[in-house]
Structure formats: structure tokens, C-alpha cells
Amino acid sequence: MKPSSKLLIACLALLTASLSPLYGTSGSLSVKNLKAEYRINPTGLETPSPRLSWELVSNQQDCRQLAYQIRSSSDKNGLADARRVLWNSGMVESQKSVHVLYEGPSPKSGDRVWWQVRVRDNQGNESEWSEAAFFEMGLLKPDDWRALWIEEINAAASDTALPAPMFRKEFRVRDRVASARLYITAHGLYHAELDGQVVTSDLFNPGWTSYRKRLQYQVYDLTDRLTPGTHALGVMLGEGWYLGSFGWTNNRNFFGDKMGLLAQLVIEYENGRREYVVTDPSWKASFGPVIKSDIYNGELYDARLEKQGWSQAGFDDRLWKPVKTASYPKEILVSQEGPPVRRIEELVPVQIFTAPNGDTLVDMGQNMVGRIRLRVSGEAGTRVTLRHAEVLDQQGNLYTANLRTAKQQVEYILKGSETEVYEPLFTFQGFRYVSVSGYPGKLTPESLTGIVIHSDMEPAGSFECSEPMLNQLQRNIVWGLKGNFLDVPTDCPQRDERMGWTGDAQVFAPTACFNMDAATFYTKWLRDVSADQHENGAVPHVIPDVIGGGAATGWADAAVIVPWILYQTYGDTRILEEQYESMKAWVQYMQKQAGERHLWTTGNHFGDWLAFASTRSDYTGATTDKDFLATAYFAHSAGLLSKTAKVLGKEEDAREFSELRERVKQAFQQEFMTPNGRLSPNTQTAYVVALTFGLLPESLESAAAKRLADDVNHFGHITTGFLGAADINPTLSAYGYWDEAYKLLLRTAYPSWLYPITKGATTIWERWDGIKPDGSFQDVGMNSFNHYAYGAVGNWMYRNIAGIQHDPEHPGYSHFFIRPRPGGGVDWARATHKTMYGEIRSSWILENSTLKMEVTVPANTSATIFIPKEGSFEIRKVGSGSYTFIGTM
């Protein structure tokens, strides 16, 4: 036999083996990234039936899961031992690998459940059991809390910033520890140490929620740190969002007027005994180096007042005072829901220079959010002052006017030791430039480090193309995201605002979800949306609500739109269930306002916020009538609510709200549309909103789209504000106006997305012209240089330049589309997006008129690929794997 025939036979044998119905464990199929409730090995879950997800890894094409088996045990080593298995699902024939309900016996407070999974695929492979993963429950009942709230003995309401109280407690560990968990929260922010070392690197704990209704606690595993002997816990508190000055009017004491601590350390010894160390009257309190600390204003830290060893055993606390206990409801305690806030990266100064006014300025090279870590040595009592700002003024001096009343000032008083390293504890700044005064000795790049801080979400996407300015835009979008995802989706991170503005959140959420895994971040925030929603269904302007008011069109609709985006992105139906009542209440609120006419013409709205304005006497700008917007959003939210009801099997509601949408749509057409499809108001935003929400008769859609395109061509630029900007490019391209869409995106003159980049922007600006073409600034009253709302165009870049599009019929990317559309002279692009199933990749390069596409489809998903073929498309349906396609333009 010739060697080649031998090879053929071997190959045939292999092929038959892989087609055989008998499954064999195969190296080619495995399972990774086990998650419970979106997280790897989470502690502190509170749902009795967490949803489990995993990713399939296969080197074969078109790999689909046919069946899975899960087993769980209270002990990692018990998984393989049938007697110790708590739950064995058996082989379940299902393609589901995402959000599979844990159906074992309901775990109790503090229980840890280990689990693993194995799967079979459609190629005859069976994976090995995966690595073991776990989830651990939090404290499920208020009674599980033995700890008492403690406060500093003289704590009282104050209208000025207060020093940070410190609390401490020594305790003995009597035996070998099997497990130890610290459950901890605070009124204010806490910084906790055990034996002189931080308990966690998580920051801004317990996070920001609507504190009167929901207060998060965190769970930390201290098992390895508790050896037999004496130990000490020390906790320092800052005012934070709880009682520091906050909101438009800089009110203090919004949620409460005293800082307080609630902590419970549960120690389980190897001999089975359990012991508790809890906050109670046995703790002691004092004050230390943090003289004042405030989210907007910064921190004053006097290192001479540090108490060396305060969180260690043996510290002399005879002069410390007793604490008082206080009683607050424990029903509102919930375990941490979103990702923790952490130090994510460090920036090194790019330049140190003297400003024209003599200030020493440091340029971090990037508009960032976080704070400066200072290294300094000098005499005790020397005071170093850091002032933070986003930009320099026209003369080149630090520009702070746009911060309004937020001081963003950090002061450090040296204790006079060798080298002192200080980073503020309870504040953050939004800045690129730092003015440094009082620094002893020579300031070098090593003296200051920029600590970038935000919610620690897993990066979920990347986008790059041949046009450098679009790459800078993508970077600015991501930096805008980082800076405004510090536990709550905020409008801006620097001036005296930094609040969870609903409208901004709503327009940016799709882009955020492309770039980061934002599932739990938004889930947490949506729970506050429900918590703060008014009885009558009105949704406040900001969540958590610290300013009052609400029910603004396009803003309050976040209550309906954001859950729907999470469902589309992550295939999450539980978020729809959880939010359903809130979504419905908001739509019913609008229904009530609109009454029988189905036109919503009352209330106070922001409208198409910050739309293009002009000083021309014959054209004052692109103002879109608020009645128009309110009625359009009413129809849109009613439609999404109807779809949500359908997903949840609430057929009657689905019908009711789809009929409601129809009626609003009719009323909308009668009121705002001429028989030929001209809209009043005749703005870009009006056409964008009407077309995106499907409010026009189908027969008039293309005429309306043409009017939009004509308007874009007439002005040569975008004229929308926040609401229109998110959807203008998707609308143009959906109706074939690719050239117009690319033109808007690539324009560099004001107003445009790239204009700020020509002015050196490293984040997205609040306004199209934060810095005007002549170099002067926009109105100081509202001119943030780090506002993500206009970054919503990022969604279009991923979906249309790179072509990664979810399939609304198969939420969560179980099936998706790859549909890139080169244009605007961009000749290559590549993007990735990490889904619950694994990473999608799409890249293309255009040479002459040949388009080479490369696509990766994760295991257990499939995709429909649109390959451009001279003005049309060739459509290919593929299973998982990596592919190359050739198209022509």
C-alpha cells in the first residue's frame, strides 16, 4: 500500500470515529469560564437559584452543545463522590450554556456550593468534567446579622465636612481556622484593615445605592489571615455619597447625618466551632489623619495625626473612646451586586511644567478619573496641595471654572519620615492636569502617579481601523466609560454633579456593553431605579435620586430601555422579570399623562439636550419639540414593554401594550406628520427618533429617511443633541445612506465627533464645542470634558464598520450577524466582542475592490455572514469556528 493510501484510510477511520454516535471524551472539547450570576466564584449571592454559565472550547468547526450535566457538592472534593453530591442534573439534552438555573437544594446563609459541568457536542465529543467552581451565599436574613451599628460617641449632624472616625477591635483566634468571612458595610465609605494590612483592595465600599432603601455589604474571605493568636480589625470611615455634600445644591446629609459601621466576622474552626466578632459596644473609636474628605471637594490629610499600628493587636488604645450603638433597619441590607470599584491602571506624568501664572503643573496625558498617589519627603508639617482640572485655559493656566463648586483639591501634610507615600482614601477627581504647590524638593515624574479607578468590569470589546482619528474616538469613548462607571453610570466625574443621570445612561448603554461586561453593573443600578421610582411610576432624573424631580422623556425611559438592552446583550430574562413592574409603571405613568388623546404634551423635559444651536437670525438651531419627543418615547417604551411581556409569557399585557403603542403611533402621525412624511419639527433628531422607533407608515419611511439624509447634506453636519446623536448613524445606514453616515462620523470640523480630537480631547465632551473653534470655552455652567453621552456612536462603529450585530430574535448572541460595511475611505477594521459564549472576532481589509473578511464565531453559537458582493450581499450561515470570506465592493 502506498503511504498516501495509508493516510487516507487513517483519515477515514478518524472521520468515522468522529461521526460515531458513541461519545468519547475528547481533548477537542472542554469547558471554561464557569460563572454564577455572571461572576467567577462569587461570594455573597442572595438568590437561591443562581444562574450558571460556561463557555465551550473546541477546535472543531460548528461545535454545538447537545447536552450538559452539572453536579454540585458542599465540598470541592465531594464532587466526584456520589454520596457527597448535592445535586446531579443528569445529562440534560439542551443547547443552553448560559443562564442555566441551579436546581440543587436551596443553599443557606454563608453556604458555599461547588459545582462543575461537562458537555456533549454535535460532533460526538464529550468533555471532561470542568474545573470546579463555586458560589457562596451572603447573609440571607436580617437575623443573620448579630452585629450592631456603631458610631463615634459624639457623632452628630454637621453642616461642615467631618474628620474620618476610626474604629478598632482586638480579638483572639483560639484554634485552627477552617473558614473566616467578614461581612461589612457602612454609612459613608469604609476602609478596613486587619492586622495592619488592608482587608481588600476594593475601593469606595460599600458602593453607592439608594441608601435608605438598599445598602450593600461586602463579603471578604479572611481564612488564610487568621492564625491562632491575637488579631485586630480597624476601620476608618469617610463621608462619601452618604452624608458628604452632594447633588446640585451641595446639600449635606442627604441619606443620613452620621457615619456608622456594621461588621461581622464569622470564624469557623476546624473543630466545627463557630465564633463571631461583631461591631458592638466593645469597639473603640478615635480620629486620625483624615481631617476632611469629600467626593467633590477632595481630602485634607495630616500625616502627623496617623496612629501607627491602629489596626494591629497590641496597639495602645487607652485614650480611644467607647462607641455608641445605633439601630437601623437590617432588611435593607443587600450583598454587593455590581463589580467592585478598584484601582485599574496607573498613569505616569507626561510633562511637568510651569504655567504662565507661575503654577507648577503636571500633565497626566489623559483625562482620567481616580486620584494621584503622591511620593514626597520633607519636613514634618510641610503642606502639599494638589488641584485637579481637565483642561488648561487659553493662556495655558489651570482651568477650574467648569468644575463649578467642586474643589477637587487634595492636601497632604507631611509627617517628616523618609519617603511618604499618600493616596487619598475617600475621594476621586476627574482630571488631566494637576497643579502642585508646596512640594518640597524637586518634582519629578516619580513624585506623582495617576491611579485610574472604576468599577472592575471585564473588558468585552476592542475596535480598531485604518483611520487614526476613529481609533482615538474609540479610545475617548472607552476613557469616558471608565471615568463614568465608578459604581453608578454618571453624567460626568469632575464637577459638582457626578450623578446617575438616566438619559445619559440610556443612550450610552449599548456602546458600554460592547466595550465592557456591564451586566451586573447595570443590574445593580436598575434595582435602584425601581427602588427610587415614585409611587405613580415617575422615574427620577438621577439614580440614586439625590435631586428630586423626574418623569422626563428620554431620561425616565431608561427604566424600560436599559433592561431591554441587557436582555438583548446577555440573553438575560431575569432582569426583565425583576424590572417588569418598574417598566410597566413607567409606561402607565405616561399613559395617564397622555390621556385619551395619546399625545404626551405635559411635564418638564430636557428634550434633545444640547442640540446644535446657532446665532443666525433665520435659524436658531435644531430644536426638537418636546411634545414630539415625549409622544415618540411613549410609543417606544410601550412597544418594548409589550415585547418584554411577550418574552415573559404575559400574553395579555403583551397585547395591551402593543395596542397602546399602535394608538400612540396613530396619534403621533396625526399630530406630527404631514401626509407626505414631513415631520414637524423638521430636525434630524425628529426623523431619527420617528424612524428608529418605527412610528411612520412603512410607505413613508424611505421618504422620511431621504429627508434626514437631505438635511445632513444640507448642513453638512450633525445637528442633534443627546437623544438624536445615539441613533443618527444607525438610521442613516439602515436606509442605505452610508455615505452620509460615514461623512458625519469622519467630519473633523465643529460640530462633529472628531472635532474635539482636533482640540486634543482624550475623552468625550459634554458639548459639541466645549472648546470653541476660536479656543474659548463654552458656558462654564455646563461644560464637562468627560461626558459619555455622545460616545453612543461607538455602537454604530462596532455594528457597522466592524459589522458585529446581535440578532434580536436570539438574544445574547446565541446567533448573530456579521455585516460590515466599509466606507468613508476606511480600508481595514477589526473588532472583537466577548459574549457569554466566547469571543466574536470580525475583521476586514479592503484592497482595490476586494474585501477579505475574517470572522470567528464562538462555540455553541452560529452566525449569518453578509459578504458584500458589488452592491449586494452573499449570505452564508455558519456554525462556530474561524473563517475567511472574500467579497467585492
Active site residues: 497, 766
Determine contact, residues 667/599, Cβ cutoff 8 Å.
Answer: yes
β-bridge mates for residue 136, sequence order: 112
Least distance (Å) between residue 246 CB and ligand BGC: 14
Least distance (Å) between residue 787 CB and ligand BGC: 6
What value, to the nearest 5°, has the Cα angle with vertex 518 and ends 551 and 45? 100
Based on CB atoms, which residue is closest to ligand BGC, 606 or 768?
Answer: 606
- Quick check: 492 binds ligand BGC (CB under 6 A)? yes
Least distance (Å) between residue 877 CB and ligand BGC: 42
Based on CB atoms, which residue is closest to ligand BGC, 115 or 508?
Answer: 508
CB-neighbour burial class of residue 348 (10 A; exposed 0-12, middle 13-18, buried 19+): exposed
Based on CB atoms, which residue is closest to ligand BGC, 235 or 610?
Answer: 610
Based on CB atoms, which residue is closest to ligand BGC, 244 or 503?
Answer: 503
Q: Sketch the per residue contact string, 443 through 482, with ligand BGC: x for CB under 6 A, - otherwise.
A: ----------------------------------------
Least distance (Å) between residue 554 CB and ligand BGC: 9
Least distance (Å) between residue 491 CB and ligand BGC: 4
Which of these ranges, 159-167, 309-317, 420-428, 490-498, lies near ligand BGC under the rule CB under 6 A? 490-498
- Quick check: 296 binds ligand BGC (CB under 6 A)? no
Rounded distance, CA 202 to CA 157, Å? 28
Least distance (Å) between residue 723 CB and ligand BGC: 10
- Quick check: 503 binds ligand BGC (CB under 6 A)? yes
Single out the residue of 121, 504, 517, 608 in contact with ligand BGC (rule: CB under 6 A): 504
Neighbours of 650 (CB within 10 A): 17
Give the interface size with ligand BGC as a residue count (CB under 6 A).
10
CB-neighbour burial class of residue 516 (10 A; exposed 0-12, middle 13-18, buried 19+): buried
Rounded distance, CA 298 to CA 350, Å? 23
- Quick check: 501 binds ligand BGC (CB under 6 A)? yes
Least distance (Å) between residue 547 CB and ligand BGC: 10
Q: Which residue reads 438583548 in cell numbers?
A: 568
- In the chain, what are the helix, strand and coil shares in percent, each to the nearest 5? 25, 30, 40
Based on CB atoms, which residue is closest to ligand BGC, 336 or 637?
Answer: 637
User: What ranges in 738-810 are assigned the alpha helix state H?
Assistant: 738-746, 755-758, 794-796
Q: Is 243 left (phi over 0), alpha (psi -120 to 50) or beta?
A: alpha
Based on CB atoms, which residue is closest to ligand BGC, 247 or 820?
Answer: 247
Rounded distance, CA 199 to CA 499, Å? 28
Single out the residue of 170, 302, 420, 491 in contact with ligand BGC (rule: CB under 6 A): 491
Considering only CA atoms, which of 160, 77, 59 is closest in space to residue 114?
77
CA torsion through residues 342, 344, 349, 354, sign = negative
Classified as helix, coil or strand, 288 is coil
Based on CB atoms, which residue is closest to ligand BGC, 501 or 755?
Answer: 501
Q: What angle do helix axes 468-483 and 738-746 make, rounded to 10 degrees?
A: 70
- Quick check: 302 binds ligand BGC (CB under 6 A)? no
- Quick check: 430 binds ligand BGC (CB under 6 A)? no
Rounded distance, CA 874 to CA 470, Å? 28
Based on CB atoms, which residue is closest to ligand BGC, 390 or 491?
Answer: 491
Considering only CA atoms, which of 79, 28, 77 is closest in space to residue 56?
28
- Burial call 627-644: b when 16+ CB within 10 Å, e when fewer: bbbbbbbbbbbbbbbbbb
Least distance (Å) between residue 501 CB and ligand BGC: 4
Annotate 418-459 with DSSP letters as a single string: SSEEE--SS--EEEEEEEEES--S---GGGEEEEEEEE-PPB
Based on CB atoms, which residue is closest to ligand BGC, 501 or 737?
Answer: 501
Based on CB atoms, which residue is closest to ligand BGC, 272 or 781?
Answer: 781
**Residue 582 amino acid letter:** S
Q: Which residue reads 411581556 in cell numbers?
A: 645
What value, to the nearest 5°, has the Cα angle with vertex 594 and ends 591 and 595? 80
Rounded distance, CA 150 to CA 281, Å? 7
Based on CB atoms, which residue is closest to ligand BGC, 504 or 769?
Answer: 504
Single out the residue of 55, 195, 497, 557 in contact with ligand BGC (rule: CB under 6 A): 497
Q: Which residue reads 463621608 in cell numbers?
A: 239
Least distance (Å) between residue 788 CB and ligand BGC: 9
Least distance (Å) between residue 565 CB and ligand BGC: 18
Considering only CA atoms, which of 127, 121, 125 is closest in space to residue 879?
121
Rounded distance, CA 168 to CA 145, Å? 19
Rounded distance, CA 874 to CA 108, Å? 55
Which of these ranges, 18-26, 500-508, 649-657, 662-670, lies near ligand BGC under the rule CB under 6 A? 500-508
Rounded distance, CA 835 to CA 780, Å? 41
Least distance (Å) between residue 606 CB and ligand BGC: 4
- Quick check: 545 binds ligand BGC (CB under 6 A)? no
Rounded distance, CA 130 to CA 114, Å? 12
Length of the chain: 889
Rounded distance, CA 805 to CA 751, Å? 28
Based on CB atoms, which residue is closest to ligand BGC, 119 or 499?
Answer: 499
Least distance (Å) between residue 248 CB and ligand BGC: 8
Which of these ranges, 489-497, 529-537, 558-566, 699-707, lies near ligand BGC under the rule CB under 6 A? 489-497
Residues 598-637 that bind ligand BGC (CB under 6 A): 606, 609
Determine contact, residues 377/419, Cβ cutoff 8 Å.
Answer: yes
Based on CB atoms, which residue is closest to ligand BGC, 231 or 605?
Answer: 605
**Residue 246 amino acid letter:** F
List the grid coordinates of 573.
430574562
Least distance (Å) between residue 504 CB and ligand BGC: 5
Residues at the site binding ligand BGC, with contacts judged by CB under 6 A: 491-492, 497, 501, 503-504, 606, 609, 782, 787
